[in-house]
Chain A
Amino acid sequence: MIEVSQTPPLNTVQDLGRFGYRRYGIGSAGAMDRLALAVGNCALGNASGAAGIEFQLFPVMLKFRVDTAIAITGADCAATLDSLPVPPFWVTPVAAGQTLRLEAPKTGARTYLCIAGGIDVPEILGSRSTQMRDGFGGLSGRQLQPGDILPTGSRPALRFRDSFGFGIEPPDSALPPNAHDWATDSDIVLRVIAAAEHDQFDSASIKAFRTTAWTITPQSNRMGYRLAGTSLKRSDPTEMRSQAIVQGVVQVPPSGQPIVQLADGNSAGGYPKLAYVIQADLWRLAQASPGRTLRFALVSLDDARRARAEQAAYLKDVSRMSGYCRSQVQA
């Protein structure tokens, strides 16, 4: 069990998401940076979809009530375990009574805590993710509060090769960076595929979308990111009927400033869809804070599949190599 000693709002229990219920208007929820959650779970030997905690606001203080093992992934939040600094993307044993502190990250937006056996809250509609808008899933359908006790799943104890645990290569350095002809080193490049209404936009708008920088505005959260940049226009701005939408879709409302729908996004919407951020790049967006600039690189469906395969290979490598650093203690 984990005791939440200190937490600001908006920190929640999340797994990889709730799928199959969009037709009823129920969004997927789930971790914004699903890759960070999955790699933490893989390193611990959990199922990749085990529930963990997503931290968006800091500082946070957690106290462990049992001996267990944890993985801290996502943004580097200068974690300390009983005052000993813990590097980012780190897997370590923890003893009952130890305290973990997380501070606001200097780069990146979200940090994840995975725990051996996962966070054991009830599974609702096939997921343990907190669905904040509808108030279910996670811990009583709400964000974490000081004083909360989080149950953890049972798991055989782990023995570590090094007493301090081990680190895993972060996706930022393990996966090849995305290329874009006009991107600066500080830009985040996201690969997109064209969406249904892509060809309805005028050529100047399509060119601007692919070549110019887009700034993430402060009106951005788990529902979606609003971007600021060149105003995008359709040649024939006829109003559309609402259609099903998914995480990663880039919609363009009448203001001409795009919105990217994310984990807590709507299940349907009537704005024209210009592109989809490929699933393999959503983690890059999840770690981007307001003020960061984005560039969009149009790729093919085959490129998107290759990117997904690269990510799967990364998770498999981490799983395999983590096995050399920790083993299950036989009962």
Chain B
Amino acid sequence: MSAELHTIATLIDLLRAHNITQFEFVSGSTQFKWTQNPADQADSASTERLADDPRLTEVLSPGVGMFVARHPLMPREMTAIGDSRQRGECVALIKIGMIYRPVLAPCAGKIVKRTCRPGDLVDYNRPLFLMQPNAA
């Protein structure tokens, strides 16, 4: 059973990475159907509005790779909306093969928005979060 879950999780990561929103597989008595939550897609419009807010700071990808919000050994995502982070604190990961690069908070502040989904392939400098910096 755990082997099947591992395979399904890998498949879902791949579907997300390729922006596939619906997937159905039927073979004999086995059926697998997956639909992406429409709320995830609706997020992009509000993100663009927030990104224009000059008070917010972008948290950028350090390089090309797959965006990972939850470390495989951690029970929950490394950063939730509303979390406060110190400057230099690791808020997420970019996975390349067997390696994870850290996504670091550029300033002390509060995470107000995540701008990409787990499993997304991201480029260098792609905004991943928006932060509200602490008042100086």
Contacts and interface: CB of A to CB of B under 8 A. Distances in A.
Interface stretch (B29-37, B46-54, B93-101, B122-130): B93-101
B97 A177 contact: no
Chain A interface mostly helix, strand, loop or mixed? loop
A169 interface: yes
B84 interface: no
Interface string B87-106: 01110010111111110100
Contact of B101 (A169, A177, A314, A325): A325
Contact of B102 (A107, A164, A183, A185): A164
A167 B17 CA distance: 21
Interface residues of B, number: 26
A185 B2 CA distance: 6
B2 A166 contact: no
B3 A76 contact: no
Contacts, number: 89
Contacts of B93: 87, 167
A88 interface: yes
Contacts of A321: 96-99
A166 B72 contact: no
Given A87-B78, A88-B73, A174 B5 contact: no
A174 B98 contact: yes
B2 A168 contact: no
B102 A165 contact: yes
Given A87-B74, A89-B73, A177 B2 contact: yes
A164 B88 contact: yes
Contacts of B28: none
A169 B90 contact: no
B1 interface: yes
A106 B74 CA distance: 10
B89 A325 contact: no
A164 B90 contact: yes
A75 to B, nearest CB: 8
Given A172-B72, A172-B73, A179-B3, A167 B99 contact: yes
B18 interface: no
Interface string A294-321: 0000000000000000000010011001
A25 interface: no
Contacts of B95: 169
Nearest to B97: A321
Interface string A264-299: 000000000000000000000000000000000000
Contacts of A107: 73
Nearest to B78: A87
B6 A88 contact: no
A71 to B, nearest CB: 13
Interface in A63-120: 76, 83-89, 106-108
Interface of A: 76, 83-89, 106-108, 161-170, 172-174, 176-177, 179, 183-185, 189, 314, 317-318, 321-322, 324-325
14 contacts: A76-B74, A84-B90, A85-B90, A87-B74, A164-B102, A167-B71, A167-B93, A168-B99, A169-B97, A169-B100, A183-B1, A184-B1, A321-B97, A325-B101
Given A170-B73, A321-B97, 8 more contacts: A85-B89, A106-B75, A162-B104, A169-B95, A172-B72, A174-B98, A189-B2, A314-B98
